Amino acid sequence: MINLKVILHPTDFSPLARYALPYAIEFAQRYSARLDLLHVLELPYSAISLAEEAVSKAEAELEKLIPPEERKGLEVVPIVVRGKPFVEIVRKARERHADIIIMATHGHSGLEYALLGSTAEKVVRKAPCPVLTIRHPEHEFVVP
């Protein structure tokens, strides 16, 4: 039996991340699970003075992600942290006892992947729980 109590959905507010959100919402609704929405601010040290403003903006964006009519019956917890995205995603999954992480993958390939790596791949390798990665909309199983 699958028993999900906490779902972690990291988002960078990109179109692909927004595409993955309905999967996180659907799982949270079906399993009556808490949905933790996580945004990681990757600010350079020179931008520390901008951190408070950036955190406020990110918190406001997280609040707007799920319309009120879709929030009914859902416990949604917005979380904003600063750091390296894959490190913070894995850390929050541990801290918050996430049962699953549902996130987008941007599908980098070739040189871009070799230079940047993949946050999703690093999360999959290091996460303390299963990770469902959502790629570009090729095969959809959540119908709006």
Residue 13 is classified by DSSP as S
Determine the structural domain holding residue 44 and report its residue range: 6-134
Q: Is 140 part of any domain? A: no
Q: Is 139 part of any domain? A: no
| Regions of the chain with pLDDT less than 50 | 110-116
Q: Is 117 part of any domain? A: yes
pLDDT at residue 40, as a whole number: 93
Q: Is 143 part of any domain? A: no
pLDDT at residue 94, as a whole number: 97
Q: Is 144 part of any domain? A: no
pLDDT at residue 17, as a whole number: 87
- The pTM (predicted TM-score) of the whole model is 0.85
Provide the CATH number for the domain around residue 43.
Answer: 3.40.50.620
Asked if 77 and 35 count as a contact pair (C-beta separation under 8 A), the reply is yes
DSSP-based three-state secondary structure for 38: strand
pLDDT at residue 95, as a whole number: 97
